[in-house]
Structure 1
Amino acid sequence: MPTAEARWTDAELLEAIAGYRQVLARENVGQAARTAELHRELSEASSGGRSIGSFGRRMSNISAVLVDAGILPANAYPPTLGNVGSGVRVRILNLWNSGADLTPTADPVVLAKRVLTAKATLKTKPVGQPAPAAATRTVAAFVRDPKVVAWVLKLAQGFCESCDEHAPFERDDGEPFLEVHHVRTLAEGGGDVVENCVALCPNCHRGLHYAADRQTRRASLYLKIGRLITSPPAP
């Protein structure tokens, strides 16, 4: 097992930084830091076989580096550099500022970005969150008319209006599971009307939101389904 702090690789420092960010995230939502548990998990998953105590000391090193850089540290770790060389201090700060923030988040947009970063940088299995923190978010949502949803589902008769396949499964009440999608989204000014809605299987629905060719997919719906309008209805 390595003992010299100066021998920490960038991968090991990133493991420590990722753990440190977890503590910050917990503190930000008023949760207990659970440092002892974190250090044990980091040690067990460590790519360099670092000890529990080694991670504890490294966390205090990170606090000291952040304080020197004018960044608010985690309350759980009193800042101390010990015998850490200036080269390691610079590496810690550079890695912290590299943008590789992989801390857990409740924001789906931020999560998607961090997933891309993680896929490009992860070398070892992550520790994860045995007890994820809950976060309360205020989200603006459009009011939906249940009659419109019901009518569109009746028109579809259990078949996806994009791929023409039958609904992939039935709900508890025996109804085929399809999702009603606004072709011109409500955020774009589309109306919550039958002429702007289609019933889709989950796969086609996700494709219309996230596929690289989603605009082509949307255009094909206008060509295929005669009831659809291409602009919001007049008030």
Structure 2
Amino acid sequence: MSQPILFEKNGRIAGLYELSKTITEEDIINAIKEFEERDRDIESYGNSSGYDLIYNGLTYPPKPIFGLALSKAIDFTVTSKHFSGGIGSPCFRRIQKLGFNIEAKKDASLSERKAWTNEELKDSVKTYLYFLSHDFVQDKATKKQFYNELSLKYGRSSKAYEFRMQNISFVFELLGRNWVKGLKPKQNITNNQITLIEKYIAECENKPFENLASFEMEVKQSLDDEHIQKPTGSQKPKQSTVSTVVYERSAKVKAWVLKRAKGVCECCNSPAPFETSDNRPFLEVHHLVRLVDGGSDTPENCVATCPNCHRLLHFGKNKDVLTNQLINRL
């Protein structure tokens, strides 16, 4: 559309209700269809905690439906941070104006809407870390048993803890760490909660808190900002001192893995990208199961890779699939 999109200082779209008048009933229906086609998983949007949009007898979270519809109507990717939901919001008003019903969730009790305490969040992190442990596998317990225990302790539904675990998965993803299978990362979480979760992870693992997740979240949000201005940066960045946990590694294991590779990346099978000053092919050694996740420092758990594949194994979309292929190959 020709009308420029303006933003408030907090990053939200200005004049949202007037802008939303471009949304038609058909746009909402198409947004619902797209929501279903994408397995009800829209990046930056979470599950509605208090209200449902009712269509054809099924329930949908109003905010992502509105966001998808508005994105199509104004030809601009509208994310969760660009507007708020709730009764009286432009989002709810426009949906209702078009004849759709929005109802309070039947199970949305006052206890469900209360703020999460630090103790409750820390207990959730402890439980999540247990899900990652070998003890959880050996105990043959189910995640739902732990959700129920947390529910009895804090008076919130067990489903709420499953959603919170997915938030913790999102923090693990920001940290470049493997998250619990079956708990796909969900981004509907505040920056303050991201910081707290990383802090509690560090405390539970007896490691220093480095505040990396909130930094990566800010990077992610800035990448999504289509109107970002060139920053001035800092001529004299502040310094901070943190203690770090360093794992002892075997030089012989690294050397053996590099020799095994014979100058060829064991991931993409391409020659090393360059030679070092002592005329050796440059490859990096990657632990398939990271040391921080309990992996061993052995040749069987190591692979020699080019720098690009090394980053791919840490941050790539299909890193888990690729890692398993390498494990089976070695």
Q: Choose 1 or 2 for highest CA Rg.
A: 1
Which TM-score applies when normalising by structure 1? 0.49
TM-score, normalization by structure 2 = 0.36
Q: Larger RCO: Structure 1 or Structure 2 (Cα < 8 Å, ≥ 6 residues apart)? A: 1
